[in-house]
């Protein structure tokens, strides 16, 4: 951490800063030039909040050099984290895993049709929402526990793993009973109470990036979960908010690369939420595969026009089959295995 | 709601859209020109999600005309909502209420000093955090229930009301016991599970705007609470995220005006979080008073350099006294009563 | 265009709006429901500025339905625009064109080396900056006219086309003499004076998207050029500004898809400026090819550590050769020809 | 400047960085800890572009500590810059100057009415656009030179100063003939060619902040003008682009404070463009006065409903008179003189 001192700071005010730093157990190095007084703070500064130093009158600027996350950092662990879901499904290696299903679990017929479809195409992970976070209190809120049970039944019948979004701490126990991966929605990325509780879980956590979160904040949220003792975190880039309104969000494809440089955790792309437009999903999925994501989460629906939520970004089964046909030869060229 | 049809849409695809709209109980008006086919959907469209129509192949664009919130809307209630906290403290009228205290409740000495200070200056609302949402798991997380108890004790001794941020649904009962206003933090603005639960509470809810939330989304979150049966919602503008990094956030002062046009709910400004810099708080507070906010939340600390959180944006008691001296003559000119 | 009337508007105030619209030659359709008064404005509304209607006291909201651009719109021209540079180089069809070269033209040795390199790899378009728009007045500003002459000489020797960024109206004549494509930089995207002048040019214009421009604004800038009489506009997505600072900008890969839906103009991706990090360029280039861009602009430099500008985002010749080896099999699978 | 070295960097790669720095004439200080290798670069680093160091393979991160601008910095000049327009009008001191007039100069009757109105209210600066930067080529583009001549005539008759926006380098001579302050529009804030040319002018320059510009970028643009030899730069905060669409832009009121801390240049607020809504202008103007701006630019129009541009954000003369009545007592309390 680097601390720049104000030009007109009194000696006494500067001393208070230096005393505080030493008292917290850090070493100091003077990097001043004749124009500006600067100190380097040496030690494990990840427990310091840079902004707190601005409380000192003498401080002009504080600059963090070490990343504030540790366990999520590639500096802490250089090898890629592999998350083994059993039955040969491993996230984080050379498999490109597809997590497929409807936005909302709606009824048994829908889910059985989707389950059979996945099995037929040799896909392994079923997604579906049972507790839906909707911006309007007047919109469909999901089937709740019945939805989770139904997903489990379908998954067991067709040899699938289940991923679904958890709404709150009180629902975690329920999710641990029915699902294989617990999803944290974008709007809960900084629900620290929830993150702490998930740190106690033994299930892999699928952490969506917040709508306007930086990559550092996203990794800090992963750190919360890992700090609690759960190392199995999967990151998901699902589009960020920008000024563009033609797409629902804006897919930040370079975030995949940034995460892979900064962290050892696997990273998945969700082109459905990122674009909000079913026509864009196929080419975006090809781009996500090409850029090196570890997999994708894609919404499908047998009849999107009748979907209770997010029909606009759901592929019909036919369109998804075409997408698969496009991904296969690309995966071959890129040395990835579609799962 | 206005629906624009694609130029190359088949008659059958168009018919599916029209059938759906009629089936949902809405009337249709044709507003087409020779260049473009457009339909108006007539009725209470607040329960429709505009984006869902994009699931229909024939739909080029959907434009919402009615606001998606009802109870929070000025169209629903034209008079300003007044929130009466008792003892003559009313939020939403001609009082300019000041909610003052440290970022975190740290210990008894600190809180007693602050409580006495508020009483001496005839201020009525004590703020303080007991469960702190910190971006780092390694940072101070707050005193928890002990902090709430301490605040209540201080408030009772000095004739004050208490406001504090609730971390989760499970903590609501605790908060109802100790505080007068329950705060929802910016990062929980779209924690819909929490909003629903607060709709059941009889305490006023202080709803901070999310870091990158639009005003419509903010009012939709208020709608969640009101939909649950709790009409006492206070909005708080606390700065939004922009590209500027010199300030912690960017105070959106015109949001105060927008909210007052669109809604009947009172709106408070938090210049401490908005700027993150104690030197800016005084002039920003003057601006917030001038623009017509119903009050302000401001952080003070007897010794900011020793604060366990947010010292950088805390005023010393002396600086806050100077701020008060600046606000008083302005309030007189503007016809507002400082409370 | 849809006009929503305020609930408390006087009849006379409403009449003034309606009179104005009729007087401007438009038809009106009433789409009101019992709750809200709404009118549709029928006719070619592209010449109206929606925001101007807010000057009328009776107007609550104005919503544009037709896009404000015409010539740039796919509704105006359904076939893709092809830009034929001669010698078999065509932008906008099934070729994936690569525009390669250093950020700044620095000296003859550098440019000859790059020119020979392009020829050896059968690449056809040489990029290079002669007039550099630098955010600091203290930074290298480019070789100026000498740089353009040098590029032309190199291009003629190695059978290449030249693209370079024009700094101002007064330099257009110079550029017409030396280059094959005139580039408009991101910071000039809304320099309307420059766009108008380029509308008079007979050279193809390469229009970079502004740092925080929406796609509509970008297409409106293309419209300016086309309105002046120059139909040969190439769009370039070069990354937008977001809250993320790890990358220089954020590549908006779905903008390629949006532009191809909304417009008939070709669209190129610039992964160098988008990321600002040489390590990301290779995977981003693969993604850009996969998503369907018509080509890419990529910076290379024989010795990036000695580059006078943008060395951080320049590939060495060796790294670029590896990138080419990655693009080739992808292009085969995708049915594109690298040029 | 602080340079953090990659953990796996080779000694030779590190040496290349260090050699480069020394060769450029800087001193080095080693601030490494056992975890991370860090160097401080000592000297006048304002001429270095931080990003350029990323070209070196060994460099993990570069952090600028000195601001990249000099002449615009308060460190360079501690006293506030005063810009004396003659006749007692001084920008930057205790006057709060109002720059008032229509968006576009439309005709003589309009301008004479406005001129007489300013004189009657003892206001001194007339604003008006003669060359309008419009996002649509189909919109009114201004009266051009005739507009400038008309403004000058009106100003001379009513004892006023004139400010107007310059469209391009080629128009500067014309502006020097007719106006007292030359305005650079927000979309030209990084038109470096124009900034350089204005550095040669002897007229004060009014530099609007770009739509998504950071404060540092804004001050760097001021630096361009000052570097050319023109010290008379006035900054104007006119609203930034955010996700909020209810207002045209978002007034960043804390930018006034940031600029006053970082620079000695005067700063003006434009509540008309910032909000785009005439109803908000009055309260925003009060806030801008309270926060400490050196003045304001406000659009008025005798008949906003008939304005050729920006009627939505123009005050009628009556509404502006009411605004003046609101500002006067505030100015008295704040110790400012309305001019």
- CA geometry: angle at C135 spanning C131 and C141, to 5°? 30
pLDDT of residue B132: 85
Averaged over A162-169, what is the pLDDT?
96
> What end-to-end distance do the CA atoms of chain C give, in Å?
44
Q: What number of CA atoms fall less than 13 Å from residue B182's CA on the CB side?
A: 29
pLDDT of residue B134: 82
Same domain, A247 and A296: yes
DSSP-assigned states of every residue in C160-221: -EEEEE--SGGGHHHHHHH-SEEEE-GGGTT-HHHHHHHTT-SS-EEEEPPTT--HHHHHHH
- Among D213, D280, D330, select the one facing B290 at the smallest CB separation: D330
Task: Inspect the interface and report whether the beta carbons of D284 and B251 lie closer than 8 Å.
Answer: no
- For residue D134, name the pLDDT band (cuts at 50, 70, 90): confident
Other Cβ atoms less than 10 A from the Cβ of A283: the count is 23
Minimal Cα distance from B192: which residue of A?
A: A133
Averaged over D297-301, what is the pLDDT?
96
pLDDT of residue B164: 98
Same domain, B251 and B325: yes
Task: Inspect the interface and report whether the beta carbons of C2 and B63 lie closer than 8 Å.
Answer: yes
Residue A287 has pLDDT above 80, yes or no: yes
Minimal Cα distance from C39: which residue of B?
A: B31
pLDDT of residue A289: 98
pLDDT of residue B239: 97
Give the pair of three-digit tokens for residue B5. 């049809």
Same domain, A124 and A9: no
Subunit partners of chain B (3 or more CB pairs within 8 A): A, C, D
* Residue C321, min C-alpha distance to chain A (Å): 17
Q: Is residue D245 situated within a structural domain?
A: yes
Same domain, A280 and A181: yes
Q: Does C237 contact chain A (CB < 8 Å)? A: no
Task: Tell me how far CA of residue A146 lies from CA of A129, A138, A153, in angstroms.
Answer: 11, 20, 11
Mutate to test the interface with A, among C245, C253, C256, C292 (most CBs of A within 10 A): C253
pLDDT of residue A138: 81
Residue D304 has pLDDT above 90, yes or no: no
- For residue B238, name the pLDDT band (cuts at 50, 70, 90): very high
Give the pair of three-digit tokens for residue A124. 């392994």
Same domain, D139 and D245: yes
Q: How many CB pairs under 8 A join B and C?
A: 46
- Cα–Cα distance, A261 to A74 (Å, whole number): 7
Subunit partners of chain C (3 or more CB pairs within 8 A): A, B, D
pLDDT of residue C163: 98
Task: Inspect the interface and report whether the beta carbons of A63 and D241 lie closer than 8 Å.
Answer: no
ipTM of the assembly? 0.93
Residue whose token pair is 């001050």: D219
Task: Inspect the interface and report whether the beta carbons of D224 and C55 lie closer than 8 Å.
Answer: no
Helix, strand and coil content of chain D, in percent to the nearest 5, comes to 40, 20, 40
Residue D187 has pLDDT above 90, yes or no: yes
pLDDT of residue B63: 85
* Residue B103, min C-alpha distance to chain D (Å): 21
Q: Is the dihedral of CA D140, D142, D143, D147 positive or negative?
A: positive
pLDDT digits (tens, 9 = 90+) for A247-262: 999 999 999 999 999 9
Task: Tell me how far CA of residue D312 lies from CA of A59, D87, D129, D130, D141, in angstroms.
Answer: 45, 33, 16, 19, 17
* Residue B3, min C-alpha distance to chain C (Å): 9
Residues of A in contact with B191 (CB under 8 A): 187-188, 191
- Cα–Cα distance, C63 to C38 (Å, whole number): 11
Residue A98 has pLDDT above 80, yes or no: yes
Same domain, D121 and D58: no
Same domain, C87 and C57: no
For the ranges A58-67, B100-109, B250-259, D182-191, the lowest mean pLDDT is seen at: A58-67
Name A77's Cβ contacts closer than 8 Å, sequence gap at least 6: A71, A264
Residues of D in contact with B267 (CB under 8 A): none
Q: What's the mean per-residue pLDDT of chain D?
A: 93
Residue D35 has pLDDT above 80, yes or no: no
Averaged over B243-261, what is the pLDDT?
96
- CB proximity under 8 Å: A 71-110 to B: none
- Cα–Cα distance, D196 to D228 (Å, whole number): 6
Look up the pTM and report it. 0.94
- Among C51, C55, C314, select the one facing D304 at the smallest CB separation: C55
pLDDT digits (tens, 9 = 90+) for B62-99: 888 878 899 999 988 999 999 999 999 999 999 999 99
Q: Is residue D330 situated within a structural domain?
A: yes
* Residue B85, min C-alpha distance to chain C (Å): 33
Name the domain count of chain D: 2
Q: Which of A63, A94, A116 is the last residue of a domain?
A: A63
Q: Is residue B94 situated within a structural domain?
A: yes
Q: Does A133 contact chain B (CB < 8 Å)? A: yes
pLDDT of residue B67: 83
Q: Does C280 contact chain A (CB < 8 Å)? A: yes
Same domain, B38 and B129: no
Give the pair of three-digit tokens for residue D36. 């991370």
Q: Does D333 contact chain A (CB < 8 Å)? A: no
- Cα–Cα distance, B302 to B106 (Å, whole number): 11
Q: Is residue D223 situated within a structural domain?
A: yes
pLDDT of residue C57: 87
* Residue C223, min C-alpha distance to chain D (Å): 7
- Which range among B235-249, C303-317, D294-308 has the greatest average pLDDT? B235-249
DSSP-assigned states of every residue in C83-135: EEEETTEEESSSEEEEEEE-SB---HHHHHHHHHHHHHTT--EEE-BSS---S
- For residue A63, name the pLDDT band (cuts at 50, 70, 90): confident
pLDDT of residue B140: 80
Task: Inspect the interface and report whether the beta carbons of A168 and B167 lie closer than 8 Å.
Answer: no
Averaged over D127-149, what is the pLDDT?
89
Averaged over D173-201, what is the pLDDT?
96
Residues of B in contact with A16 (CB under 8 A): 305
- Cα–Cα distance, A69 to A92 (Å, whole number): 20
Q: Is residue D68 situated within a structural domain?
A: no
Averaged over A90-103, what is the pLDDT?
97
Averaged over A227-231, what is the pLDDT?
96
- For residue A331, name the pLDDT band (cuts at 50, 70, 90): very high
Task: Inspect the interface and report whether the beta carbons of C75 and B2 lie closer than 8 Å.
Answer: no
Same domain, A192 and A268: yes
Q: Is residue C17 situated within a structural domain?
A: yes
* Residue D173, min C-alpha distance to chain B (Å): 35
Q: Does C333 contact chain B (CB < 8 Å)? A: no
* Residue D328, min C-alpha distance to chain A (Å): 35
Contact C284, A258 (CB under 8 A): no
Q: What is the pLDDT along chain C (339 residues), one digit of tens a residue?
A: 889 998 889 999 999 999 999 988 888 888 887 778 888 888 888 778 888 888 888 998 888 887 889 999 998 899 999 999 999 999 999 999 999 999 999 999 999 999 999 999 999 999 999 998 887 888 888 899 999 999 999 999 999 999 999 999 999 999 999 999 999 999 999 999 999 999 999 999 999 999 999 999 999 999 999 999 999 999 999 999 999 999 999 999 999 999 999 999 999 999 999 999 999 999 999 999 999 999 999 999 998 888 777 778 899 999 999 999 999 999 999 999 999
Domain range for D16 is 2-63
pLDDT of residue A80: 98
Same domain, A205 and A334: yes
Same domain, C39 and C185: no
pLDDT of residue D295: 98
CATH number of the domain residue C165 falls in: 3.20.20.70
Q: Does C215 contact chain A (CB < 8 Å)? A: yes
CATH number of the domain residue C55 falls in: 3.30.70.1140
- Among B214, B283, B333, select the one facing D243 at the smallest CB separation: B214
pLDDT digits (tens, 9 = 90+) for D266-290: 999 999 999 999 999 999 999 999 9
- For residue D203, name the pLDDT band (cuts at 50, 70, 90): very high
Same domain, B30 and B107: no
Q: How many CB pairs under 8 A join B and D?
A: 115
pLDDT of residue A40: 87
Task: Inspect the interface and report whether the beta carbons of B212 and A217 lie closer than 8 Å.
Answer: no
Task: Inspect the interface and report whether the beta carbons of A240 and C250 lie closer than 8 Å.
Answer: yes
Q: Is residue B265 situated within a structural domain?
A: yes
Q: What is the largest CA-CA distance in chain A?
A: 76
Q: What is the largest CA-CA distance in chain B?
A: 76
């Amino acid at each position: 951490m680097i601390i720049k001192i104000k030009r007109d700071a009194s000696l006494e005010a500067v001393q208070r800063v230096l005393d505080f730093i030493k008292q917290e157990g850090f070493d100091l190095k003077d990097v001043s030039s004749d124009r500006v007084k600067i100190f380097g703070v040496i030690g494990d500064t990840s427990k310091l909040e840079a902004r707190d130093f601005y409380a000192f009158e003498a401080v002009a600027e504080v600059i963090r050099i070490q990343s504030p996350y540790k366990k999520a950092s590639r500096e802490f662990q250089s090898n890629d984290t592999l998350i083994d879901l059993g039955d040969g499904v491993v996230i984080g290696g050379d498999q490109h895993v597809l997590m497929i299903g409807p936005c909302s679990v709606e009824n048994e017929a829908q889910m059985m049709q989707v389950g059979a479809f996945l099995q037929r195409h040799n896909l392994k992970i079923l997604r579906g929402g049972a507790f839906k976070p909707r911006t309007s209190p007047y919109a469909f809120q999901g089937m709740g526990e019945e939805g989770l049970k139904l997903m489990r039944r379908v998954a067991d019948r067709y040899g699938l793993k289940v991923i679904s979004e958890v709404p709150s701490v009180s629902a975690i126990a329920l999710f641990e009973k029915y699902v294989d991966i617990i999803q944290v929605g974008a709007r809960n990325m900084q629900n620290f109470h929830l993150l702490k509780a998930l740190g106690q879980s033994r299930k892999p956590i699928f952490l969506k990036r917040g709508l306007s979160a930086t990559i550092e904040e996203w990794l800090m949220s992963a750190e919360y979960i890992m700090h609690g003792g759960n190392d199995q975190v999967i990151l998901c880039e699902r589009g960020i908010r920008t000024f563009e309104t033609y797409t629902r969000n804006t897919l930040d494809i370079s975030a995949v690369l940034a995460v892979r440089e900064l962290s050892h955790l696997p990273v998945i792309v969700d082109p459905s939420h990122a674009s909000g437009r079913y026509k864009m999903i196929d080419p975006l999925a090809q781009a996500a595969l090409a850029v090196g994501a570890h997999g994708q989460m894609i919404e499908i629906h047998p009849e999107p026009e009748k979907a209770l939520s997010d029909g606009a970004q759901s592929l019909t089964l036919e369109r998804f089959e075409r997408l698969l046909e496009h991904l296969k030869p690309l995966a071959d060229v890129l040395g990835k295995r579609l799962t």
